[in-house]
Amino acid sequence: MPESDAAARTGTELWAPRAWLPGGWAERVRLRAGADGCWESIETGVDAAAGATVLAGPALPGLVDAHSHAFQRAFAGLAERRGIGQDDFWSWRDRMYAVALRVSPEQQQAIAAQLFLELLRGGYTQVCEFHYLHNAPDGRPYARGELSMARAIAQAADDVGIGLTLLPALYEHSGFGGAALREDQRRFRAGADAVLALRDALRADPAGAAGRQVGVALHSLRAASPAALEALVAGCDGAPIHIHVAEQTQEVDDCVAATGLRPIEWLCRHAALDGRWHLVHATHATVDEIRMVARTGAGVVLCPATEANLGDGIVDLPAWLHARVPIALGSDSNVTRSVMEELRLLEYAQRLSRRLRCVAAAPQQDEPSTAARLWSQVQRGGAAAAGYARWGLQAGARADLLVIDTDAPALLGVPDSHLLDVLMFSSPIRPFRDVLVAGRWVSRNHRAEHGAAIAQRFAAAMQALWRDLEHT
């Protein structure tokens, strides 16, 4: 739980020796936050005014985690043994379902709170929760409607102080052609009407935190009929719409067999994509499909650690960058909860597959730093994915920032000009000393209020969950 308002707002004015503004690093930066939790003004080249809070290090904007399944934090690292036979995404999915079938709302809240605290420490100040764990374990809606599991996530975000974009997901079928849901998918069932009703209930929830965003999602093309997709989008407003797409080659092959088109091509031709849409993974996209997406204004959400963990494949990052498609970053299955680790993996996969270095850099565009280009890209793309028109250290954006711990061993003696490069490509590192969200300190000197209690509740939920699983 974040500090109280009185303690958290140590003054509306902060001063940083250096800060990452939309144009890059700036020196001697004064930042003034308003009572609404947004930046009122940001000035550069000025001294700290009397009463201003002097930050203990350089400041970066917080980033958006644009794709998370919070309950899967309970499964992180626990599917890394293989029996006889092949292990792939689909066998991992079957094991993940066993966890999904057992998580209670109380456990969901405990797991999500621990996850969100780790995400804050890892550099994220907003998380987009792609939520499809709707129903009770027997598949029936909860007595209070389908809000129980979603409210548990929302309460966890409020307790920790992270920003939240909730994305209730449509999930009707187990495969193309209208195949019925499998028995172990019963908790996921939600049609277009149910998703829109859940969206509206979450927006109207009196327990909702100020500034919470709510959009919608479609689990995938295989889980949504064209009619259901059309009905859902018809009921949407300007909020984000997310969908898993082209993560696995089998999914691509199945889509071609069922529709005659690859999944991204199908979306571009039939879904009237626009800037509200965010295509999660898009791992197996052709250059022609990337160009089609670029013409629509839609964005993509890349999840490097999960895509590596599941053996999905390697995204064509240079093609997405060249097409100027908005790119966001997601933690997905939450095997990694660190901004820097995700970005490092994104670049390193390109280096390994292409046998080149600094693949994401663009010196011809005056962007020679791989780290700076990636950071700027996912900052912009993440804002749109979360439903924000403005993001970062600029007037009108929410007053979020990360204070870099320059005492971290990896940063000792590093030139200021290369600070972001070292943060991203020298590890291990615990980079962020303090974290501010909406003008409130949610972590100070690597510690969050009630962090120990959150950890205890998480450990208890894990013990109960895995005790049950071991006896099945």
- Give the angle subtended at the CA of 409 by the CAs of 408 and 410, to the nearest 5°: 95
Provide CB contacts within 8 A for 472, sequence distance 6+.
98
DSSP per residue, 319-375: HHHHTT--EEE--BT-S---HHHHHHHHHHHHHHHHT-S-TT-BGGGTB--HHHHHH
Can you say whether the dihedral through the CA atoms of 355, 360, 362, 368 is positive or negative? negative
Structure tokens at 107: 């456990």
332, 400, 405, 434: the catalytic one is: 332
Sign of the dihedral defined by the CA atoms of residues 15, 16, 22, 25, in that order: positive
424 — phi, psi (to 5°)?
Answer: -85, -35
Judge if the upstream peptide bond of residue 363 is cis by omega within 30 degrees of 0. Answer: no
Q: Does the active-site annotation cover 281?
A: yes
Choose, from 159, 281, 284, 400, the residue flagged as catalytic. 281
Tell me how far CA of residue 369 lies from CA of 38, 373, 422, in angstroms: 29, 6, 11
Distance CA(18)–CA(268), nearest Å, equals: 42
Q: How far apart are CA 437 and CA 386, in angstroms?
A: 15
* Known active-site residue 332: yes
Bridge-based pairing of strands 327-329 and 401-404 is unpaired
Q: What is the DSSP letter of 410?
A: G
Rounded to whole angstroms, how far apart are CA atoms 9 and 34?
10
Strand partners for 64: 126
Distance, C-alpha 235 to centroid of its chain: 24
> Which residues, in sequence order, are bridge partners of residue 147?
none
| Side-chain half-sphere exposure of 273, counting CA atoms within 13 A | 25
DSSP assignments along 421-467, one per residue? HHHHHS-S---EEEEEETTEEEEBTTB-TTHHHHHHHHHHHHHHHHH
What is the Cα–Cα distance from 180 to 188, expressed in whole angstroms? 12
Region class of 127: left (phi > 0), else alpha (psi between -120 and 50), else beta: beta
Strands (E), 261-311: 277-281, 299-302
Q: Which residues are catalytically annotated? A: 281, 332
